[in-house]
Amino acid sequence: MSVRHRLFAAMYDTLSASVERRELSPRRARLLSPLAGTVVDVGAGTGANLRHFRHADRVILVEPDPYMRARLRARLGESPVPVEVSDADAEHLPLPDGTADAVVFTLVLCSVPDQRLALLEARRVLKPGGTLAVLEHVRGQGRAARWQDRLDGLWGRCVAPGCHLNRNTVASIGEGGFEFTEVSRLEAPAVALATPIIAGTAVKRSEP
C-alpha cells in the first residue's frame, strides 16, 4: 500500500497536468477564489488548490497521506494567503464545531473511506451559513455508469489508490445535510472513466 501511494504521489502532477490546465484549474479558480475567512481544504493532495485561495484569512490544508503531504509542503510558497498543514483525515477535521467559513473537497470524496462521515464532519465544523465547495468526479449514467460499476475495484487498485468511479456524490451531499446553491456538470473524456465532474457550492441545512 505504501509503495502504491508513494508512486501515485510522485506521478500525480504529471499525469493530471493536461486536464488540469484545460479543464480543472479554471474551475478551481472560480470555485475557490471567492472563499473568505477560515477555509478547510480537505485532502489537499499535492497543492493544486493553493494559488486559487485569494480572499481567505487562513487556509487549513488537511492531507493524511505522507507522500502527498511532502509534495504539498514543498509548494506552500504558491499560496497568496496564510496556510497551515494538518495530517488529519476527512473524518476527523482539526477544528471545533462551527468555526470554519468554508470546507473544500476537490477530487477527494471519491476516495475518502466513508463519504457520509466526511460530509457530516464538514457540516460539524462549518459555521451557520458556511459554504461547502466541491469539485468532484461522480457516477455517470446509463452505459457509462455500468462500466464504472464493472471497473471500480480495478481502478482503485491499479490506477488511483482508493478512488471509486461510481459514487453518487451529489446524492450523498444532500443526504449529508447540504443544499446546493450552485452546481455545474462537465463531461471530461480526457480523464477516461472518472467523469462527469461537478463543480459547485452548497450550504448546510438546519437539520441533516
111's grid cell: 476516495
Q: Which of 37-41, 66-70, 154-158 has the lowest mean pLDDT?
A: 154-158
The whole-angstrom separation of Cα 166 and Cα 145 is: 7
The angle formed by the CA atoms of residues 99, 77 and 57, to the nearest 5 degrees, is: 25
Banded pLDDT at 189 (limits 50, 70, 90): low
pLDDT tens digits, 76-124: 999 999 999 999 999 999 999 999 999 999 999 999 999 999 999 999 9
Banded pLDDT at 5 (limits 50, 70, 90): confident
Owner of C-alpha cell 495530517 = 87
The whole-angstrom separation of Cα 63 and Cα 16 is: 18
Distance between first and last Cα of the chain? 35
Banded pLDDT at 3 (limits 50, 70, 90): low
Average pLDDT over residues 182-201: 84
**pLDDT(25) > 90:** yes
The whole-angstrom separation of Cα 107 and Cα 44 is: 9
pLDDT tens digits, 65-81: 999 999 999 999 999 99
- Give the chain's domain count: 1
CATH number at residue 97: 3.40.50.150
Plot region of 37 (φ>0 → left; ψ -120 to 50 → alpha; else → beta): left
pLDDT value for 191: 66
Domain containing 51 equals 2-204
Listed in sequence order, the residues at least 6 apart from 173 whose beta carbon sits closer than 8 Å to its beta carbon are 119, 132, 134, 180, 202
Radius of gyration of the chain measured on its C-alpha atoms:
16
Quick one: what percent of the chain has pLDDT higher than 90? 71
